[in-house]
């Protein structure tokens, strides 16, 4: 006669619900920090709440948010892509030069070409990292410089100017729909689609499994290499999309486009709750992190704080986020272990 206690309905899902609750609390914390920062800045400088100021804030955050979504897909698998800024530069100049030389090219074709170039770069990174067995940090650090070098060779000192770009294309970077910048609508769409895919599709959920425990995921039959490769390709595609939107936003593009963005994007993801150790985080948090960092930079600029302190503030926030992530992770692991022990007992 069996003495095993009957399973308690829903108990097996408590760990997942606890982890989800932690993520939601962290995202709400970012929202609270955003509101507090905005209120304090407006009190000190009312111009920060002007419509033009808010519009510029959303426009600046949109490109970082798109890049942060792609970076999140890679980071949750315990990898990283340092080359996104260089991929952005290649795609930005590619789109700008094509439409400058061939004004009749439809705008949608520019997106296809820019995203395609980004996918090719992401595929290169992914193949070396997964099937080549080279750590992604090493691979993408190399391609960060290699892709940027290609951009300098390609441009040969030239730049794309706004006066050579068609108005229909430039309106994507300056226009709005019902008061919301078109660029921000692109970012919102990317965040919602990526969040939906990672939450409701098996492949998206398996990315978390790979980052949480690669060996266990492999033993469970997860095709880790293919999924990590997919994450790199999507990250590259989103960097390519960001490059096209960068050209529409700024008009003037050269080989230095997006230089230094890679660190800001990684910081946005980590501040948004994406664990640098993999397995934890959402694209919503990463997008909020991008908005928070952009707001910090804009508020410090409008308050006439020196560039040194702007960088110092972002660095301090990044360190705090990593420490908080580690503390929360340890406590969450301990809580799940205690639940498991009680269940066995």
Decide: 96 and 247 in contact? Cβ < 8 Å. Answer: yes
**Residue 147 class from Cβ within 10 Å (0-12 exposed, 13-18 middle, 19+ buried)?**
buried
**Closest to 192 measured CA to CA, from 268, 287, 274, 58:** 287
Task: Compute how many other C-beta atoms are within 10 angstroms of the C-beta atom of residue 288.
Answer: 27
Residue boundaries of the structural domains of the chain? 23-329
| pLDDT tier, 4 (very low <50, low <70, confident <90, very high otherwise) | very low
Token digits of residue 231? 């994450």
Who has greater pLDDT, 111 or 344?
111
pLDDT digits (tens, 9 = 90+) for 32-70: 778 888 888 888 888 878 888 888 889 989 999 999 999
d(CA 123, CA 235): 10
pLDDT digits (tens, 9 = 90+) for 233-285: 999 999 999 999 999 999 889 889 988 899 889 989 988 888 888 888 889 98
The predicted pLDDT at position 338 comes to 61
In this predicted structure, the answer to whether residue 6 has a pLDDT above a threshold of 50 is: no
pLDDT digits (tens, 9 = 90+) for 178-207: 888 999 999 999 999 999 999 889 888 889
pLDDT, average across residues 76-84: 94
Decide: 313 and 294 in contact? Cβ < 8 Å. Answer: no
pLDDT, average across residues 87-94: 94
d(CA 208, CA 219): 15
Token digits of residue 120? 């090719």
d(CA 319, CA 134): 27
End-to-end CA distance of the chain: 19
Decide: 268 and 64 in contact? Cβ < 8 Å. Answer: yes
Hunting for tokens 């789109």 — which residue is that?
95
CATH-assigned architecture of domain 23-329: Orthogonal Bundle (1.10)
Q: What is the DSSP letter of 6?
A: P
The predicted pLDDT at position 278 comes to 81
């Amino acid at each position: 006669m069996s003495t095993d206690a009957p399973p308690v309905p829903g108990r097996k899902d408590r760990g997942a619900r606890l982890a989800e609750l932690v993520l939601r609390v962290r995202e709400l914390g970012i929202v609270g920090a955003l509101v507090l920062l905005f209120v304090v800045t407006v009190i000190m400088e009312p111009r920060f709440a002007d419509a033009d100021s808010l519009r510029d804030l959303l426009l600046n955050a949109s490109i970082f948010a798109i890049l942060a979504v792609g970076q999140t897909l890679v980071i949750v698998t315990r990898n990283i892509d340092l080359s996104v800024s260089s991929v952005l530069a290649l795609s930005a100049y590619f789109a700008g030069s094509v439409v400058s030389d061939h004004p009749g090219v439809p705008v949608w074709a520019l997106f296809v070409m820019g995203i395609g170039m980004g996918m090719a770069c992401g595929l290169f990174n992914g193949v070396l990292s997964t099937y080549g067995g080279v750590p992604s940090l090493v691979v993408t650090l190399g391609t960060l410089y290699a892709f940027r070098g290609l951009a300098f060779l390609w441009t040969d000192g030239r730049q794309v100017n706004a006066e050579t770009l068609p108005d229909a294309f430039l309106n994507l970077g300056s226009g709005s729909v019902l008061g919301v910048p078109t660029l921000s609508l692109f970012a919102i769409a990317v965040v919602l689609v990526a969040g939906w895919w990672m939450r409701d599709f098996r492949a998206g959920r398996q990315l978390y499994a790979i980052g949480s425990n690669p060996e266990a995921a492999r033993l469970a039959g997860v095709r880790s290499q293919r999924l990590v490769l997919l994450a790199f390709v999507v990250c590259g595609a989103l960097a390519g999309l960001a490059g096209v939107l960068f050209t529409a936003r700024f008009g003037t593009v050269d080989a230095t486009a997006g230089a230094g963005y890679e660190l800001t994007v990684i910081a946005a993801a980590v501040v948004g709750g994406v664990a640098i150790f993999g397995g934890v985080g959402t694209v919503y948090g990463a997008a909020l992190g991008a908005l928070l960092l952009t707001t910090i930079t804009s508020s410090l600029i409008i308050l006439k704080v020196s560039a040194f302190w702007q960088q110092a503030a972002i660095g301090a926030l990044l360190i705090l986020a990593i420490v908080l992530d580690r503390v929360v992770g340890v406590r969450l692991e301990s809580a799940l272990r205690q639940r498991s022990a009680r269940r066995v007992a």
